[in-house]
Amino acid sequence: MKKTADMVIKNAGELLTCRDESPDLIGVTRGGWVAVTDGKISMIGSRAEIEPLISNSTQVLDASGRVVSPGFVDSHTHVVFGGTRVGEYFAKIEKLSGDEIKRRGIRTGILTTLEPTREHSLEELYEETAVRVRDMIVSGTTTVESKSGYGLDRDTELKQLEVNRLLENRLPISVASTFLGAHGWPHGMEKEKYMDFLISEMIPRVGSAHLAEFCDAWCDEGHYTARECRIILEAGLDAGMKPKLHEGGYSYIGGAEAAADVGAVSADHLNYDPRPSLRRLAEAGTVGTPLPGIDFAVGHILPFDPAPMTEEGLELSIATNCCPGCWCTSMPFIIILACRRHGMSSERAIRAATIGGAKALSRQDRVGSIEPGKNADILIWNLERHEDIAYHYKTNPIETVVRDGRVTVRDSKIVQDI
Ligand SMILES: [Zn+2]
C-alpha cells in the first residue's frame, strides 16, 4: 500500500459511515477524516491518524464541520424512456372521470411511453435519459439501477439495455442493468405468447450478451401471477441474472413468497404485503424496497408502512423509482418523503438510501458505506446534521460528490465527464 493518500476528506462534522453493523443504523462519527487511495477508501480515523498521509500530491477536501456520507445507491429506476405522462398526472390530480379522460384524448398507463421509447434511435433515447441521470448525479447518486420494460419487443428492450451501457461509459455513475421484459405485454398479444417469447428468446439472449445483471417482473392483479413470475425469474437465473420482483404495489397475490422462493435480491413496493409475507422475505435475506416517490406521485390509497417491515427484520432500501409516472431524480427528496410521509427516522431512511440500496443490488461489498476497501463514493453536504437531510428542503443540499476517488460534482455542476 502507498504511504500517502491520493485524497483526504478532513473535518467532517458528522461522518456517516453507514457500516452494516452500526448500532445507530448509520454509524455517526464526529470529527472523522477519510483517506482515499487508488479510488478506494483506505483509512478512516482521527486527524492525528490521517494527517501524516497527506503529501504534496494529495487532494484535500475540507468538509468544514459538515455532514459526510456515502454516495446514494438508487436501487430501483425506470429512467430509460421516451416521452411523458404529464397528461395522465394532471388527469389524476384533477380527478377527471374515465369518460372525460377519453374525451380529451389523454393516454394513460405504461403503454403511453412505449411508442416514443420504441421510435427513438439509440442516441435519442440516450440523450433524453442522460438529462435525468445528470440530475441524479448532482443529487448525490453514485450507483443507479436501471430497468428495461418500456419496449416489450426485442429491439426496444435491447436498445434500453444498450442505453444502460452508454450511461455507465459516458457519465460518472455506476449503472446496474435490469431486464424487465415482464413489465407488461404488448397490446393485442396474449400474455402466454409473450411469456413464451421472453423465456425462449429474450432472457437467454440478454443473459448471453451480458446486458443485464438482474431479471425482474411485475406481480400484481392484472399483471403477472406469482406462478408466472416464478417461471420468468427462474429462466432469468438460468441465464445468469439475479432475480428482483415488483410485488404488492396495488394488491397482494403471493409475490413475496415467489420472491423468497427464487432467492430474489429485492422485493419492491410492498404496500399490500401481509406480515407473514414480510417475515418470509426477511428469512430469505431478500431486501424490501418500498418506494416513497411512486406512493406520492400517484396519491397511493395505501402508502407503504415501514413499521411492520422493520419489526419483521427486513433490511430496507428506498429508491426514486424514476419513471414516467414518478419523475423523481433526487434521493434527498426520497429521504424527505420516507421520513415525513411514512414515519421513517432520518437514520433509517439514510441507511435505506445507502447500504440498504447496495444490498438490494448485491453490491454491499463495493458501495453503500464508508469503510476501508470500498469504492470512494462520498458526499460532502451543505448541512451540519444528518437529520437536516430530511428537515431542510434544500434545492442543493450537496456540495461535493466524489466517485471512485475523483471529484465529479461541485455545487450542483458535473465537473468530470468520463
Ligand atoms: Zn418499478
Could you report the per-residue pLDDT of 147-168, keeping only the tens digit for each? 999 999 999 999 999 999 999 9
Q: Give the model's pLDDT for residue 2.
A: 67
d(CA 158, CA 128): 17
pTM exceeds 0.75, yes or no: yes
Three cell numbers written together for 99: 369518460
109 Cα–ligand 1 center, Å: 13
Q: What SS3 state is found at 388?
A: helix
274 Cα–ligand 1 center, Å: 20
Could you report the per-residue pLDDT of 71-118, keeping only the tens digit for each? 999 999 999 999 999 999 999 999 999 999 999 999 888 778 889 999
Q: Give the model's pLDDT for residue 246.
A: 98
CA dihedral (33, 359, 132, 94) positive or negative: negative
d(CA 351, CA 359): 11
191 Cα–ligand 1 center, Å: 19
Three cell numbers written together for 369: 458505506
CB 333 within 8 A of CB 141: no
Q: What SS3 state is found at 215?
A: strand
Identity at 48, one-letter amino acid code: A
Could you report the per-residue pLDDT of 3-30, keeping only the tens digit for each? 899 999 999 999 999 999 999 999 999 9
Q: Give the model's pLDDT for residue 393.
A: 94
**Strand ordering across the sheet containing 72-74:** 72-74, 141-147, 174-182, 214-219, 242-247, 266-269, 287-289
pLDDT confidence band for 417 (50 / 70 / 90): low
- Find where cell 435475506 sits: 285
Nearest to 266 by CA among 138, 77, 123, 22: 77
234 Cα–ligand 1 center, Å: 19
What percent of the chain clears pLDDT 90, i.e. is strictly above it? 95
d(CA 272, CA 46): 46
pLDDT confidence band for 416 (50 / 70 / 90): confident
Could you report the per-residue pLDDT of 195-237, keeping only the tens digit for each? 999 999 999 999 999 999 999 999 999 999 999 999 999 999 9
Ordered by where they begin, the domains of the chain are 7-70+370-414 (2.30.40.10), 73-360 (3.20.20.140)
76 Cα–ligand 1 center, Å: 6
119 Cα–ligand 1 center, Å: 22
- Return the exposure string of 136-173: e unless at least 16 CB atoms fall within 10 Å of the residue's CB, then b: bbbbbbbbbbbbbbbbbbeebbbbbbbbbebbbeebbb
Q: Give the model's pLDDT for residue 1.
A: 55
193 Cα–ligand 1 center, Å: 23
- Find where cell 460534482 sits: 409
Identify the helix (H) or strand (E) that includes residue 159: helix 154-170
d(CA 384, CA 134): 25
Q: Give the model's pLDDT for residue 395.
A: 86
